[in-house]
Amino acid sequence: MTKLSRRAFLERAALLGAAAVAGPALLAACNSGGDEGGGGGGGLDCTDTSGLTPQEAQMRTSLNYVDASTTAGQTCENCTLYTAANAGECGGCTVIQGPINPNGWCSSWAAAT
């Protein structure tokens, strides 16, 4: 077993304290970033497809819709096919039925003009 100097002990204790403070904040930041299709685009969950027909739900899958875009510079919010809703609410799309996350994306994305 190695002996820690008082200085080393205090430095490690300070690091542990900083990690304890920063850890939850970092985790919260990660959780708000985005998970594909699982609700995550800015904390808004637009993945409820329970009101859709099987064909409508299949269209979302076929066009690779995700609730949080991973394509740089392309989100539903800047897609010409996006139908905006009130701030903090899911929008719509002229191609895909059901709730659409402004931070989402699908393979039919087209730049808004």
Interacting residues toward ligand SF4 by CB under 6 A = 65, 76, 79, 81-82, 93, 95-96, 100, 104-106, 108-109
What is the smallest separation between the CB atom of 33 and ligand SF4, expressed in angstroms? 18
Buried b (16+ CB within 10 A) or exposed e, 39-56: bbbbebebbebeebeeee
> β-pairing, 92-93 with 82-83?
antiparallel
- Which residue, 32 or 94, is less far from ligand SF4 as judged by CB? 94
Contact 59, 96 (CB under 8 A): yes
- Which residue, 25 or 111, is less far from ligand SF4 as judged by CB? 111
What is the smallest separation between the CB atom of 52 and ligand SF4, expressed in angstroms? 13
